[in-house]
Chains A and B, each alone.
Chain A
Amino acid sequence: MSSALQPSAPSAQSWARRWRQRLWRIAPADRGPVVLRHRRIYILPTRRGLALLATLATMLLTSMNYALSLGYALTFLVAGLVASALLQTFRNLAGIAASPVAAGEAFAGGEVTFTLSLANAGAARRGIVVMPGSGRSVTVDLPAGATRQVQVTIIAARRGRVALGRVTLSTDFPLGLWRGWAYVHFPLAGIAYPTPEAPPPQLPVGLDGFDVRRSARVADAELAGLRDYHPGDPLNRIAWKAVARGAGWYTKQFEGTGGSGTLELHWAELPPTLDTEARLSRLSAWILTSEREARAFSLALPGTNLPVGSGTGHRRAALTALALFPAERAP
């Protein structure tokens, strides 16, 4: 590559940014398999390593003061061991090829699972700790020439995309005196769907203003029982008799409605009392219920329309649409 092709004298800022990226891998700029080499690997003593080094320093001073030749010999022998452990720690990490494999899905509040692949072209590695930016770390051993898939989980705080973030691969093998680590930052992101409303609200089946075409069929349906009233339940499903008796507010539940009917889930027709997140939660719950009952559904959101469909792909598309629905602007 000729120098003419390179950007002209980079500003100090971009120079600093490049170095920050190189040192800390802040941006998700790693593509494909990343082979850990000396440019990426950091090594520092652990606390135990520091304590041992301090002991060796004291031993050296003692040997000097008392002119103990064998004291020097012992000190340097153990120093050689410590130095060799440094090399071993480096070797344990160097040459591992990390690549992104898959990002999982979850409902907000749950754990999103990410899969990374660690390929080991060299000798056996032991105790490689894979630690995402947040969440639990996983420790793997890599036999010689083996490739292992590692799954790390991140708790999704809210709906939307969940980035894996910067992953730290570290090890303190073999003696726990040195910790070597390297950062890899893949642009890998999972998704967190809106938390479904619990308990699941009744499906919007055959309701006035919801699905007039099937209201007759609903009337045929058998009354299965009553459940507690939730704000927003259709008026014609409220057990008015019970209310009149003063027994409290209940909503009628019907059975035998499942199976064949098609649902139309409309953002606009949800009760206006609900805010954006509550609407998304309800839609999320409805999508789950309709999938459980094997019913096709369509979804209409402001700006997004999914035609009638069913199956895992359709459900995932619908939930993704909910997950990525723009958040309500703060007033």
Chain B
Amino acid sequence: MIFARAPATPLSRSQLAWLAALVVLTQLPLWLQLPPWIAVTGSGLVVARLLLPADRLPPAHLRRWLLPVLALAVAIGIRSSFGYFLARDPCVAFLYALVGIKFLEATSPRDGGLLVCLSLFLALTQFFYGQTIAAAALTFPAVLVLGGALAALRDTPSGTSDWKAPLAATARMLVEGIPLAALLFILFPRLAGPLWGTPTDAGARSGLSDRMAPGTISELSLSDSVAFRVDFIGPPPPPAQRYWRGPVLSRFDGLEWSARPQPRIGVFAPRRGRAIEYTVTLEPHNRLWLFALEHPASLPRPAVDEILLSAAPARPLAVLTYDEQLLAAGPVTQTLRYTQRSTLGDRFAAAGEEERADNLQLPRNNPRTLAFARDLRSRVASDRAFIAELLAWFHDEAFVYTLAPPPLEGDTVDAFLFDTRRGFCEHYASAFVVMLRAAGIPARVVTGYQGGEINPNGDYMIVRNSDAHAWSEALFDGTWLRFDPTAAVAPSRIERGLGAALPLGEPVPYLARLDMTWLKNLRLHWDAVNYQWQRGIVGFNIERQRDLWRDLGLEGVRGWLIVALAAGVLTVWGAAFLWFGHWLVHRRDPVVAIWARLCRRLARAGLPRRSDEGPLAYAQRAATRWPQWKEPLRKIGETYAMLRYGPIAGTRGELISALRASVASLPEVRTLRGLV
């Protein structure tokens, strides 16, 4: 039996309590992520088992069937609830329920060990749904209880029900293990991409999409979540120029705008205007776009925090399309940091003539809009005058900028322009582009973010999903020009943000509002902490690891050397702690120290102690060697043996001073050596 088996005794009440605590602690962070019936079932089974008295468990043959039958039932339920099974989220849900079922039928410490392993894995799955500071903080008690549960499972069932000691012991072990964990975290090679295929449902998709219908962006604007953060080199641009270009939508089916499926690769047109350089920390959004201020003047490159070290040019992270989107090779599934250069401006040279045709396509519906646009165009002299008329019309007519526009049906653009006249930026951008196209001017919708808030704590800009925006571009004489019809309706949206533009009483996300300064301050402080967390811990990916290795002078080091380094670290770590433990124990025992000193002394005098020799035998041998010092030597041996092994006669302190005195009465080493 090389690998020791777990004992086959029934689970005691205290072992069960430890396991229950572990299971609930690992299930807890998932409660909000799972369908309610799964959350209730998985945790309800744990409570059910705890409520059952120990002697009223179902009989063994029933319990044997319990696990497979319940597991099958839950699996079927999950399949019908999710509509599929072999994907990440249903599997997490299944594991969650399985832990509960296993707890219900666990009878032996062996089941307990399995339960510990399952729970540990379950504790990992919460990070699929968010790697926040809170999630990390919730994990610590779970790991502590994991140690406690393992200790309880090891203990005999009759063991003490003291719950503090195992937690304290686990905490001490964690303190010992954390240096190793930190080194592994830093040194373990990170991968550039996933191991097996792209995790299709990795992380909920948040943020902008490649489709836009009425309501898409206003829905997004209700979210306070961070889209990306920006560190500017130099002063940030003024609010009115903070157009963060994202998906460009040039296809319209009458209801919904969508992006071109296979965009062509573009080239950078020569630009005029102020160049600005900055670093973006993009939250994973599971899409291809990287955001840049209009208009990008370079391809995004991995951010290097220490600029002097950026010797080798890094590979760009994305390509530029002909409509000036920055597209990464794969979905952004982890926090991405990139440096980017832009030239601030509202125009750029079009790639070619074929763009004209692509951006004139228009479905036949919305007849009132088409008629209105054509009529207006026929009454003005030029295209530019037509656009000026349109913007003035938006400004003068009773249009309302609101987050809660009434629902639209049928010809949605018609209904919006002529009936409801209440809309959010996507309504204005969409209607504006439709009218331009109707008048024969090539135009398209551009989505992205407009604005951003400077966080004074840390001096960086936060762009939230509530800053999502849609505007339009029109092609004149081979140049794309930006027009923002929302600015015509609600100019303060562009200048001062969403909170300033919306009428009172609208459900604005509270961070977008302008009042409530102390609360907002608090939130900004918290965001600064979160930013560092995201950058340092969660965003510690292959790029940042390479930076770190470069800083440590490990650049170009081969993989096996890293492994050797890790092995060395492990050895040094183990040796250090063993030595420390040894020292802790022996430093306090003066008896051992005195004896060791004596042994060294006698060894120098020519009489080393044999390894199998006890104190009495050694003292005896020394006494025969130096009969003059027979009495103190005998006394030393006896006192030491009594202190270490014996029943102690008298107090320990007296014996120790007696031992010291006897040792002190021995002569110098030189004398002893001479006496032989």
Contacts and interface: CB of A to CB of B under 8 A. Distances in A.
A77 interface: yes
A123 B574 CA distance: 18
A286 interface: no
Contacts of A68: 124, 127-128, 131
B603 to A, nearest CB: 14
In the complex, which of the residues B143, B177, B592 has the most CB atoms of chain A within 10 Å of its own CB atom? B177
A31 interface: yes
A79 B645 contact: no
Contacts of B392: none
Interface in B1-60: 2-6
Given A47-B5, A90-B578, 9 more contacts: A32-B614, A54-B117, A70-B139, A77-B174, A78-B120, A79-B177, A79-B184, A84-B176, A117-B645
A67 B191 contact: yes
B169 to A, nearest CB: 6
A73 B181 contact: yes
A54 B170 CA distance: 21
Contact of B180 (A80, A85, A173): A80
Nearest to B573: A83
A83 B180 contact: yes
Contact of B153 (A48, A56, A87): A48
Contacts of A65: 194-196, 199
29 contacts: A32-B612, A33-B614, A46-B5, A51-B113, A58-B121, A59-B124, A62-B121, A63-B124, A65-B194, A65-B196, A68-B127, A68-B131, A70-B136, A71-B124, A77-B139, A79-B177, A80-B178, A81-B174, A82-B177, A83-B177, A119-B645, A121-B586, A121-B592, A122-B586, A139-B156, A145-B589, A174-B151, A175-B173, A176-B153
Contacts of B334: 67, 69
A75 interface: yes
Interface string B179-190: 111101100101
Interface string B387-421: 00000000000000000000000000000000000
A44 interface: yes
A48 B194 CA distance: 30
A51 B136 contact: no
Contacts, number: 196
Contacts of A170: 4
B139 A74 contact: yes
Nearest to B617: A32
A80 B120 contact: no
A91 interface: yes
Interface string B124-140: 10011001000110010
Q: Nearest 6 pairs between A and B by C-beta?
A: A80-B177, A176-B154, A80-B181, A84-B173, A76-B181, A48-B113
A74 B123 contact: yes
Nearest to A63: B124
A88 interface: yes
A201 to B, nearest CB: 46
Interface in A135-174: 139, 145, 147, 170, 172-174
Interface of B: 2-6, 113-114, 116-117, 120-121, 123-124, 127-128, 131, 135-136, 139, 143, 146-147, 150-151, 153-154, 156, 169-170, 173-174, 176-182, 184-185, 188, 190-191, 194-196, 199, 202, 333-334, 537-541, 570, 573-574, 577-578, 581-582, 584-586, 589, 592, 612-614, 644-645
Interface of A: 31-33, 44-52, 54-56, 58-59, 61-88, 90-91, 95, 117, 119, 121-123, 127, 139, 145, 147, 170, 172-177, 179
Contacts of B153: 48, 176
B6 A44 contact: no
Contacts of A81: 143, 146-147, 170, 173-174, 177
B185 A76 contact: yes
Contacts of B5: 46-47
Nearest to B612: A32
Given A78-B143, A79-B180, A87 B199 contact: no
Chain A at the B interface: SS class = helix
Nearest to B150: A175
Contacts of A82: 177
Contacts of B180: 76, 79-80, 83-84
Contact of B613 (A32, A64, A86, A175): A32
Given A51-B117, A76-B184, A66 B202 contact: yes
Contacts of A122: 582, 585-586
Contacts of B4: 44, 46-47, 170, 172, 179
Nearest to B202: A66
Nearest to A52: B117
Contact of A69 (B179, B194, B537, B645): B537
B173 A172 contact: no
A176 B194 contact: no
In the complex, which of the residues B127, B199, B540 has the most CB atoms of chain A within 10 Å of its own CB atom? B127
Contacts of B182: 76
Contacts of B169: 174
Nearest to B180: A80
Nearest to B140: A77
Contacts of A63: 124
A69 B151 contact: no
Contacts of A59: 120-121, 124
Contacts of B582: 122
Contacts of A177: 150
A64 B178 contact: no
B76 to A, nearest CB: 25
A55 B573 CA distance: 23
Contacts of A64: 190-191, 194-195
In the complex, which of the residues B124, B578, B614 has the most CB atoms of chain A within 10 Å of its own CB atom? B124
Contacts of A77: 139, 143, 174, 177-178, 181
